[in-house]
A and B are shown apart, each in its own frame.
Chain A
Amino acid sequence: MPNTIAVELRDVVKAFGSVVAVDNLSLSIPDGEFFSLLGPSGCGKTTTLRMIAGFEMPTSGEIDIAGEAQGYRPAHRRPVNTVFQHYALFPHMTVYDNVAFGLQMQKVDKSAIARRVAESLDLVQLNGMDKRRPKQLSGGQQQRVALARALINRPKVLLLDEPLGALDLKLRKEMQVELKTLQQEVGITFIYVTHDQEEALTMSDRIAVMDQGRVQQLGVPEDIYERPVSRFVADFIGETNFLHCMVMQTAPRGEVELAGGIRVPVSWIREGISPGSQALLSLRPEKINLFELSDTYPTGPDSAVVHGHVERLVYVGTDTHHTIKLDNGATVIARVQNFHVEEEPWEIGEEVIVQWDAAHARVFRE
């Protein structure tokens, strides 16, 4: 059944007193999707998730799960399960009882429970751990128990609130892959909360970037990274250079003027910015090419070219970050991949030609 909607939020608002945690949120998440809510601390991700789970009731607006309006239905009557940030495993129960809990509450018969617990533990590779207590497990294992405990109920939707937040980097990366594989295996809709942009980019089918209770941009990972629609999204996802500019023309092709009267072509200007207004040009560091004065470099209507001097070099392994002082006074950082180990092509203070394609330059409001 493609295209059926697992979760739908319509104009959902949640206010805690005078604090508006979630502000007019509308989302439509299809069945089987890995959907991420990404945003800085306090943007309302957890609150959104808790409203779907039924731990908080919206101040206004509606939430549908599997086509059914939830209204004020309490958490234990909703067809969703949650993986909590700190797992919230029951410390006084064994792994078996933790995982079996949901089925026991639904009065499933004992032999069926035993079979499904074994299956679930198998799914998360925890066979043979069923008699242990949560405290006797490592962080990663506890994480898996939390997953098994939720998935055993075969929920329509699994809600995950920063489930990898407590793990160290290496384990985190491993679990990212595992979670994604697992999601594809079971085919359950995942709604995943994170403030780690890399995690969201690598795992999600679609991402909603939130700020101050609102969705700033919603799209596939590539859209979010390559085609941010606001200064906030460009800044929050990955690294970016911002250059002050004045919009010269928006059609038929975009053009802006940087400080010092340098005109460069741009591929996209945010709607509603009219010629003559001040704006911000955003450019990812890896999209910048550096050329020596003697090199030939791309020219033409879609190529932006600015002269500058190398100010600083930071070697970070795969790349070297070049800080370039442009002749117009602005500074940009260019990431250049380290193909050759033997040569160090740039020296501090050396003159350099900074070039990028118009396709990579996007213009936002200041």
Chain B
Amino acid sequence: MEQTLRRNPALRAWLLIAPAGLFLLIFFILPLFIVIIYGFLERGTYGGVVWQFTAENFSRVFDSLYFSTFLRSLYIAVLTTLFCILVGYPLAYFMTSRPPRQRNLLLLLLMIPFWTNFLIRTYAWLTLLRTNTGLINVTLMNLGIIKEPLPLFGNDFAIVLGLVYGWLPVAVLPMYASLDRLDRSLVEAARDLYASGGQVFRRVIWPLSLPGVVAGSMLVFIPSLGAFVTPAILGGGKSLMIGNVISNQFLAAHDWPFGSALSTLMMVIMLFATLLYFRSTALKAKEERA
């Protein structure tokens, strides 16, 4: 046995990935196929499916109701991604300009929110934002700054705020990594060649940190598009994003096939987004090599 293993490095490699491979097969690939197949079946009365082929679930996806929800989810995800970059990039830049000791401290601070459950943190926002009893509105009204409560809750603003808050650290990390890798002498070289601060940023810092920005965007965009906890809590209980529609199909409407069809469509869209990302980075790498 040992002899065979020693002589056959390929077999050895296969044995090494077997546990991980088996795990992925049973708990990831198989369920994925179940979801896709369920999308083509008819619904059972109390959940579950009837083994009868139909494409109707997928055509229903394009019903105006669901489709507009989907477009709104897309809009919220794009907005969230944009704000995460807008806030996260300067933060990442600031962090890389600190001495190493402070940097580690800042990284730690960035990670601290993850020590608390996401659900609890989202409820914390609820107590801040609620229209009549939220801390912000109550304080502002008691101080006499505003007469009517501000619409901070139960709308897109609250959802985007909650999502930006949740995913900001994830956006910062890859941007921080790519800015940290950036050779400072390139900045000095640009300066030396008469570039002003703005020109250095546009011509050198931004293009060289772009892979980090793209990676950060992906890491925020994908979970934001499928989010359902944040809209469920901060969206004021109405089902506001496609993630909520999907969870409702399984938990409330007992329409598993339609939920599966929606999920499958989401996966396809995210797959495209990811492919686009890989293509853009692969293209860059190729350009640099070519």
Contacts and interface: CB of A to CB of B under 8 A. Distances in A.
Interface of A: 53-55, 74-77, 80-82, 84, 86, 88-92, 101-102, 105-106, 133, 135-136, 149-150, 153
Contacts of A106: 194
A106 B195 CA distance: 8
Contacts of B190: 90, 101, 105
B189 A84 contact: yes
Nearest to A81: B192
Given A55-B188, A84-B185, A88-B188, A105 B195 contact: yes
B185 A81 contact: no
Nearest to B194: A105
A178 B270 CA distance: 55
A146 to B, nearest CB: 9
Interface string B138-173: 000000000000000000000000000000000000
Contacts of A102: 193-194
Contact of B186 (A74, A88, A149): A88
Contact of B195 (A76, A81, A86, A133): A76
A91 B181 CA distance: 13
B191 A74 contact: yes
Contact of A82 (B183, B189, B199): B189
Interface of B: 183, 185-186, 188-196, 199, 203-204, 207-208, 287-290
Contacts of B189: 82, 84, 88-90
A101 B185 contact: no
Nearest to B204: A90
Contacts of B186: 88, 90-91
A101 B290 CA distance: 21
Given A90-B189, A90-B204, 9 more contacts: A75-B188, A76-B193, A88-B188, A90-B190, A91-B186, A92-B288, A105-B199, A106-B194, A133-B288
Given A88-B183, A133-B287, A76 B194 contact: yes
Question: Which of B185, B190, B193, B199 has the most C-beta atoms of chain A within 10 angstroms of its own C-beta?
Answer: B193
A76 B192 contact: yes
A75 B193 CA distance: 8
A69 to B, nearest CB: 20
20 contacts: A55-B192, A74-B191, A75-B188, A80-B192, A82-B188, A82-B192, A84-B188, A84-B189, A88-B185, A90-B203, A90-B204, A92-B208, A92-B288, A105-B190, A105-B196, A133-B287, A133-B288, A135-B288, A135-B289, A136-B289
Given A55-B188, A105-B199, A133-B288, A91 B194 contact: no
| Majority-rule SS of B interface residues | helix
A2 to B, nearest CB: 28
Nearest to B207: A92
A270 B188 CA distance: 43
Pairs of residues from A and B, 8 with the lowest C-beta to C-beta distance, nearest first:
A102-B193, A88-B189, A88-B185, A105-B194, A75-B191, A82-B192, A76-B194, A105-B195
B192 A53 contact: yes
A347 B257 CA distance: 100
Nearest to A146: B189
Contacts of B195: 76, 101, 105
Contacts of A81: 192-193
Contacts of A53: 192
Contact of A101 (B188, B193, B207): B193
Contacts of A76: 191-196
A92 B191 CA distance: 17
A40 B147 CA distance: 72
B73 to A, nearest CB: 34
Nearest to A161: B185
Nearest to B284: A92
A133 B289 CA distance: 8
Contacts of A149: 193
Contacts of B289: 135-136
Contact of B194 (A90, A92, A136, A153): A153
Contacts of A84: 185, 188-189
Given A55-B188, A92-B208, A92-B288, A153 B193 contact: yes
Contacts of A88: 183, 185-186, 188-189
Given A76-B196, A149-B193, A91 B288 contact: yes
B223 to A, nearest CB: 30
A54 B196 CA distance: 13
Nearest to A79: B194
Contacts of A80: 192
Contacts of A82: 188-189, 192
